[in-house]
A and B are shown apart, each in its own frame.
Chain A
Amino acid sequence: DAKTTQPTSMDCAEGRAANLPCNHSTISGNEYVYWYRQIHSQGPQYIIHGLKNNETNEMASLIITEDRKSSTLILPHATLRDTAVYYCIVDYTGANSKLTFGKGITLSVRP
């Protein structure tokens, strides 16, 4: 069972920032927060992950609260191609990893 809670859907205007929230109040100390997305009919795509500190890469930023019970994925300038289902997942790394997908949040970027 997924250990995260996400809204079902949200939308944002093209060019604006998309802030996708996630609650993971039962996260354990060694679990990371991962974000993936699945664009229609394609395989899931890794976006970013973090443990405690905020992280940024070429795709997105990840903001994790100090108590680690929630996080926000930020797409700084959403485009139409960012329309997808976004999954927030808590998981261990390495051999103990077992990526378990929940329902995710459907992000619709409107022109």
Chain B
Amino acid sequence: DTAVSQTPKYLVTQMGNDKSIKCEQNLGHDTMYWYKQDSKKFLKIMFSYNNKELIINETVPNRFSPKSPDKAHLNLHINSLELGDSAVYFCASSGAFYGYTFGSGTRLTVV
């Protein structure tokens, strides 16, 4: 079983569309995160949720809205997609003490 799984793996869409990326973890972790890795390979934290509560909300456009229906899931919805949103998005989770476990990423391409 994959510990942190993201779907889809690849997403190609047109500007202006709305899309969602789903993430699920089966590690029993309390905290989940979304990271964005741009073309220059910088990894930046976007959001984190702890037990379904938003605790980190970095400077991210309002078009990005995370949703956590339960502590095992953290989805990312993006409205009105722009060319600059093209990137790889990584979901991660963490427990009380040990390191983060990352998913394999969702490569979003906006055309």
Contact = CB atoms under 8 A, between A and B. Distances in A.
A44 B99 CA distance: 11
A34 interface: yes
The B interface is mostly helix, strand or loop, or mixed, namely strand
Nearest to A46: B99
Interface of A: 34, 36, 38, 41-47, 49, 85, 93-95, 97-101, 103
Interface string B80-94: 000000001010101
Nearest to B104: A43
Contacts, number: 52
Contact of B48 (A42, A85, A94, A98): A98
Contact of B97 (A38, A42, A93, A100): A93
B37 to A, nearest CB: 9
Given A42-B104, A43-B103, A43-B105, A97 B90 contact: no
- Shortest Cβ-Cβ A-B pairs, 7 listed: A46-B99, A43-B102, A101-B43, A44-B102, A43-B104, A43-B90, A93-B97
A99 B96 contact: no
A33 to B, nearest CB: 11
B55 A46 contact: no
B111 interface: no
B74 to A, nearest CB: 15
Contacts of A98: 45, 48, 56
Interface of B: 4, 31, 33, 35, 41-45, 48, 50, 55-56, 88, 90, 92, 94, 96-105
Nearest to A48: B99
Contacts of B97: 93-94
A38 B20 CA distance: 25
B50 A95 contact: yes
Given A42-B105, A44-B43, A99 B56 contact: no
A99 B33 CA distance: 10
Contacts of A94: 96-97
A99 B48 CA distance: 10
A38 B41 CA distance: 10
A95 B98 contact: no
